[in-house]
Amino acid sequence: MVSFEFDEVHQDFAKTLRAFSDQELLPRYRDRAASTDFPFDAYKQLGDLGVLGIGLPEEFGGTGEEDPVLLGLATETLAAGDVNVASAPVQLGLVASQFMHCGREVQERYLPPLISGDETAAIALTEPGSGSDASALRTTATPVPGGWNINGEKTAITWAMNATTALVYARTPGTSRTSGISCFVVPMNEKGVSAHQMLGMGCLPLGWGSIHFDDVFVPTENLVGDEGRGFHAVMGHFDFSRAALGLLCLGAARQSLDEAVAYAQERETFGHPIADYQGISFLIAEHATYLEAARWICYRALWMRATGQPHTALASMGKWWPPVVAKNAIEAAMRIHGNLGYSAEFPLQQRYRDVTAYLVADGTSEIQKRIISKNVFARKTVAL
Ligand SMILES: Cc1cc2nc3c(=O)[nH]c(=O)nc-3n(C[C@H](O)[C@H](O)[C@H](O)COP(=O)(O)OP(=O)(O)OC[C@H]3O[C@@H](n4cnc5c(N)ncnc54)[C@H](O)[C@@H]3O)c2cc1C
């Protein structure tokens, strides 16, 4: 028998976060989104609410047991209030899952301040010459006495401008493709590290930018996991971040459609509320259906992760389709609002610009379809 119900702990947590999202995040979403300043105050509040420690060890301030479904639910709920703030638990989840492969000393140094919201960490994988084809990266980590020297450039990195630390993927000189790529913990204030802002059409507060590494020394203990296994390690963690990002987009879309429902019942044309016209009500019905379908793909992927079942293809489905569904739903909500939907006085246009980032970030739609089709052909069936 299948259950589509969240358990009591999940429901209670979502209720708390919904109140926080409505009262604290939504009213200031547009102001935060218009600025390149990272919202440290909201971030710290997430730390206080326990959102940044979901599924991380209690000894470091986390909630304990891994709980991908709760992470997705938190992200979806927060995204109704602020798309950018809501991405924090996913970023933290991805970062922290890799810190779990570090030595005890490094974990003790970095995990508590990340979980409490006092420090931030970027994931630096993409380079000017390698995005989708990430294993073609060129940044080098040359062995030197006591550690490595890192040289190279990363681009399009979320939190580049506000991170205190970065997880940097670099290869041992002379290696190619995935072999020889390792992951390193690099403090952003280390000599030789410099970050430069990049402006996008949305997501301004996320401090998107490039990071340059010029002979940056990294001590031996800052290696994450095994040498030469960095690429494989991060790819496995994308399986939860992708489905969670799908839910982030859907949370923003649901809020937008809810706003459109309220507006359609109130706005009158030709003597009737526009909700009375099927041109409007069917639009809402269609997007409500797409949202519902896309949402369960994401939760099923997270549930399969939680129960230890293969979920790579499902996670990719949860990354390519939900951002598209969400973008289209937000566009519909904007159209239902007429000129107000386009107005900067309303949050709809902002959500549209912020959600659009996830058509590309964390792997494009084409790359997700590549993963899904590879999986389908290997199993010789589309059944999951
Ligand atoms: C808002 C945002 C935040 C980001 N944050 C981070 C971050 O924190 N850390 C990080 O490391 N990176 C980050 N990125 C980078 C992101 O992961 C890459 O942009 C993405 O993987 C695509 O790489 P690319 O931009 O180099 O495009 P390319 O790989 O050059 O792709 C260009 C186009 O070709 C398509 N394409 C490529 N290969 C194939 C193929 N085999 N079949 C079909 N189509 C193909 C792509 O889908 C795309 O449409 C972020 C990007 C954005 C937009």
Run of H or E including 350: helix 348-356
pLDDT at residue number 234: 79
**What is the arithmetic mean of pLDDT over 251-277?**
98
Check whether 209 has a pLDDT greater than 70: yes
Which whole-number Å values give the CA distances from 372 to 104, 136, 173, 332, in the listed order?
36, 21, 32, 28
Query: Phi, psi at residue 305, to the nearest 5°?
Result: -65, -45
Counting Cα atoms < 13 Å in the Cβ hemisphere of 92 gives 33
Check whether 233 has a pLDDT greater than 80: no
- Is 122-228 CATH 2.40.110.10? yes
Measured from the Cα of 122, ligand 1's closest atom is 8
Measured from the Cα of 132, ligand 1's closest atom is 29
- The CA 134 to ligand 1 mean position distance, Å, reads 9
Model pLDDT for residues 72-131, shown as the tens digit of each residue: 999 999 999 999 999 999 999 999 999 999 999 999 999 999 999 999 999 999 999 999
Residue located nearest, by CA, to atom 26 of ligand 1: 131
Nearest to 111, CA basis, from 125, 86, 124, 93: 93
Q: Which ranges of 103-226 would DSSP assign to H, the alpha helix? A: 104-116
178, 10 in Cβ contact below 8 A?
no
Model pLDDT for residues 300-337, shown as the tens digit of each residue: 999 999 999 999 999 999 999 999 999 999 999 999 99
Burial class (CB in 10 A: 0-12, 13-18, 19+), 101: middle
Architecture of domain 231-379: Up-down Bundle (1.20)
pLDDT at residue number 65: 87
The structure tokens listed for 6 are 């969240």
Q: Ligand 1: residues whose CB is within 6 Å?
A: 122-126, 131-132, 156-158, 200, 203, 208, 357, 360-364, 366-367, 370
**What is the arithmetic mean of pLDDT over 187-191?**
98
- The CA 1 to ligand 1 mean position distance, Å, reads 39
**What is the arithmetic mean of pLDDT over 144-170?**
97
Cβ neighbors of 154 (< 8 A, separation 6 or more) are: 124, 125, 126, 127, 139, 160, 166, 168, 210, 211, 212, 213
**What is the arithmetic mean of pLDDT over 27-34?**
96
**What is the arithmetic mean of pLDDT over 142-170?**
97
Question: pLDDT grade, residue 137 (50/70/90)?
Answer: very high
Q: Report CA torsion sign: 143, 148, 149, 153.
A: positive
- The CA 319 to ligand 1 mean position distance, Å, reads 13
Check whether 2 has a pLDDT greater than 80: no
Check whether 225 has a pLDDT greater than 70: yes
Measured from the Cα of 357, ligand 1's closest atom is 1
Query: Phi, psi at residue 61, to the nearest 5°?
Result: 105, 5
Taking the domains of the chain in order of start, what are their residue ranges? 8-120, 122-228, 231-379
Check whether 1 has a pLDDT greater than 80: no
pLDDT at residue number 51: 96
Instruction: From 137, 183, 360, 373, give the residue whose CB has the most ligand 1 atoms within 8 Å, as the site to mutate.
Output: 360
- The CA 146 to ligand 1 mean position distance, Å, reads 34
Nearest to 248, CA basis, from 303, 318, 167: 318
Query: Phi, psi at residue 267, to the nearest 5°?
Result: -75, 125
Return the CATH fold of 8-120. Butyryl-Coa Dehydrogenase, subunit A; domain 1 (1.10.540)
pLDDT at residue number 181: 95
The structure tokens listed for 97 are 């899952």
- The CA 65 to ligand 1 mean position distance, Å, reads 32
The fraction of the chain above a pLDDT of 90, given in percent, is 93
